[in-house]
Amino acid sequence: MTVSSSSEATSTAAPTASAPADESTDASMLRTFAVIMCNECQYLEFPGCDVHGALYTQRLADPDGKLHAKCPSCTAATNNARPFRDGCRRCKAPTTVAMWACSLQEIQQAIEAFPVSTEEIEHTVINCERCLSAIFPRAREVLTTRSILEPLAAASGKPLKVANFQLSMPHVDGCLRKGMPLQAVAVQLPKSELKFVVERISRCPLAPRLTGKPQYRLRKVELVTQQNHLHQVAIQLLSAVIGAFDADSPAAVQPLRQVVAVLGRMEPLTLFSEWSPPRQLSLEKVFPKEVTSSSVFDVQHAASKVLESDSSFWRSASKTDEQSPQSDEWIVCQFSSAATLSSIELKWKTGFVPENFSLSISRDGMSYETVAIVAKRIPDNRILVPKGIMVTSFKITIFSSGMVGETFGLESIVCKEAAFSSVHTSPDVMLRKIQQWLFDAAVSSLPEVRDLALQALQKLLLASGRIGITWICFPKMGNNLRKCL
């Protein structure tokens, strides 16, 4: 048994797979194969088997749980075949085996973008940690380089960011990290290794569709352990003044002067953590204008039943004939105008719950973007919709398990609007009391009290941004309050 990467490939040409004229011959399709990276010198190689003319594509774990890869047609693997079992081909240091998903087109473009008269470069590969797709980034049709100062730079030396390639990064179908941050992998990239992959990638399997729940990165949470006690004292002082205030008494002048002085020496906004009232997600529902489906069991189980509040439900047609194609089912909900949604709630009929389904949203009613894939049989689902996206329609795709007589049932679809309603809290109530106190002082029978109150109101209201909170008529104030507001 002989195994090799490009560095010791035999002179015998590798057999070429004669694939039919379908998607398997598409050079842009992502295929899965193994890579070996040195932990010391970052040398990158693609292990392969000369006997079968194939790259290593099957995962293999040793008793310690370390990942290895093997030939799909024999027992040759990175942990039992030379030179891979001995460590790095260059420096014999320990290596790491990983699985990547890459296309023939990407490899060919990397070869074409290799710097002239160079057979090996220090490079940074960009990789998705979820679907394992990988690209060899290029700038102006030349591979990027890596140095101690710049881990990712154009050939001219201009520094680049991994985020520059985030939107154009290809992902495996079903990957939920499309458009999300990627990871950089430092490698020593030989041109001969890329040529070796081009010769054998046609035998590699297509990257399988991913299913599962959304993947989120953990965020660091910091607890606030310090408070600004000066602000707390100021708020308590204002509360005491408000409780003993008489707007028509000459004694009101002195506390008002102190309040105006306080507001002049500190940012009024710092008196309260939130000037705008806290908000909670709206419970308002948005109803689709039209609901269509791929099939119906009968007229009593039409797709429109999911919007009705009675006991009726939508049910897909049952494929009882073994010769009938076991295709996926779908439901499309169309809105009369674009809506911003916060969540979509689905209630499936007991006994007709699908094992796998996906939910996709559309901004234009033509192309759909998958936002969730559910791979567990649950009768009630609540799916969150990404913020700030105007949705014109959404599609539920129910994946067939291939069972004869399979049918699905959906009782209801509830769409929640992405709007917020105000929630009044203690700081907000306090702010309202201060405002009311100043309003009372602004209609005082004493001119000096009125003038001081108007000064304080002007500072308070302009700083808070609540210009529209009170266009209230105070007969004694005339136009002064309107000028203030």
**CA-derived radius of gyration, the chain:** 33
Distance CA(123)–CA(120), nearest Å, equals 9
Is 126 in contact with 183 (CB distance < 8 Å)? yes
Phi, then psi, of 314 in degrees rounded to 5: -80, 140
For the chain, which residues make up each domain, given as ranges? 3-203, 229-278+424-484, 285-421
What values do phi and psi take at 410, rounded to 5? -125, 125
Q: Highest mean pLDDT: which of 29-43, 80-94, 318-332?
A: 29-43
Please state whether the peptide bond connecting residue 83 to the residue before it is cis, i.e. omega within 30 degrees of 0: yes
Confidence of residue 284 (pLDDT cuts 50, 70, 90): confident
285-421 CATH: 2.60.120.260
Residue ranges in 69-167 assigned as alpha helix (H)? 104-112
Residue 335's identity, in one-letter code, is: F
Token pair of 17, please? Answer: 């797979």
Residues 5/192, Cβ–Cβ less than 8 Å: no
| pLDDT (0 to 100) of residue 2 | 43
* Of 143, 153, 141, 127, residue with least CA distance to 194: 143
Paired tokens of 112? 């074409």
C-beta contacts of 155-158 below 8 A and 24+ residues apart:
155/115
Please report the pLDDT score of residue 8 as a whole number: 46
**CB 432: neighbour CB atoms within 10 A?**
13
User: What are 38-49's pLDDT values in tens digits?
Assistant: 999 999 999 999
Q: What count of other Cβ atoms lies within 10 Å of the Cβ of residue 171?
A: 21
pLDDT above 80 (res 253) = yes
pLDDT of residue 260: 78
Mean pLDDT of 133-162: 91
pLDDT for residue 433 is more than 60:
yes
Mean pLDDT for 331-354 is 90
Asked if the model's pLDDT at residue 109 lies above 50, the reply is yes
Pairing of strands 58-61, 48-49: unpaired
Q: Is 334 within 8 Å of 303 (Cβ atoms)?
A: no
Distances from the Cα of 422 to the Cαs of 55, 377, 381, 419, in angstroms? 60, 36, 27, 10
The pLDDT, as a whole number, for residue 325 is 53
DSSP class of 255:
H
Residue 204 burial (CB count, 10 A): 23
The full length of the chain comes to 485
Calculate what percentage of the chain has a pLDDT beyond 70: 73
Q: How confident is the model at residue 266 (pLDDT cuts 50, 70, 90)?
A: low
Q: Are 42 and 35 in contact (CB under 8 A)?
A: no
